[in-house]
Structure 1
């Protein structure tokens, strides 16, 4: 095996993080669209929370596994930052997003939502997600037999 193929295989795509909070969702999308879990992990704080579906909170390895499920769809994400509200080193981001294309079974898959996210500026001046809540204010599904 040539060293070139090892370099290519071991190369993790990197996307530069941003010093502007309103650009962080675009950095997230670019990182997501590399398909690399390692590239995507860079846009999060070490103690970040990810909400992969309404009412479910993940951190650490569970956050990475939940994101891997989205990456496994093999579809790009597009984002549009609707609002950014910043106080000091914290930003609230309201972001419209869409994942659309042929799913693993060949049938069209479309997921979309409006995220309610919180980002924090680190000591290096770069923004990362502290809370990534892609489904925003969507309610968790009602359990069978539960109040409706």
Structure 2
């Protein structure tokens, strides 16, 4: 039996692609309050390998990244969903001159976990932008 979870015609992949695009749009627009709504209350982010953050610390790490003033580019490479849980593999980058005036070239391959809630909306459970780093 072959199961292609990366089928571009799969409606779940389309939903997850829209979710990732929405996250990047909110980030690029600087709407951090709306961005926080895309996380479950107990969700973690791992902005530095081995240092997971929750709650206000997670939000502050996102705000710090946004303070560079550079747009985030994202590409959903793979998604694997089982029921209401999905693994996302994303390639992302932020490149240019920061608001502080220095050159920046950040990029990575994220391994993220999202879950569909009771309102049928995807939310981050684990946001791990540097994947296996």
- How large is the RMSD of aligned CA atoms in angstroms? 1.2
Q: Does residue 1:20 correspond to 2:15, yes or no? A: yes
| Structure ranking higher in strand proportion | 2
Deviant stretches of 4+, over 4 Å: none
C-alpha separation in 1, matches of 2:66 and 2:34 = 11
Partner of 2:85: 90
SS state of the match for residue 29, structure 2?
Answer: coil
Q: Is the 8 A contact 1:115 1:134 kept in 2?
A: yes
What's the CA shift string for 1:10-51, capped at 9, x where partnerless? xxxxxxxxx812332111101111112202112111110100
Aligned to 1:146: none
Unaligned ranges ≥5, structure 1: 1-18, 139-148
Contact 1:73–1:103 (Cα < 8 Å) also in 2: yes
Partners in 2 of 1:111 and 1:58 — Cα distance?
A: 20
The CA distance in 2 between the partners of 1:60 and 1:40, in whole Å, is: 13
Number of residue-to-residue matches in the alignment? 120
Q: Using the alignment, how far apart are the partners of 1:22 and 1:85 within structure 2?
A: 12
- Counterparts of 1:69 and 1:121, CA distance in 2: 27
| Alpha-carbon distance in structure 2 between the residues aligned to 1:92 and 1:23 | 15
Structure 2 unaligned spans of 5+: 1-13
Give the drift of 1:75.
Answer: 0.9
* TM-score, normalization by structure 1: 0.77
Paired residue for 1:81, among 52, 72, 76? 76
Q: Is the 8 A contact 2:68 2:100 kept in 1?
A: no
Mapping of residues 1-148 of structure 1, within 5 Å: 20-138=15-133
Once the 2 structures are TM-superposed, how far is the Cα of residue 110 of structure 1 from its aligned partner? 1.1
Q: TM-score, normalised by structure 2?
A: 0.86
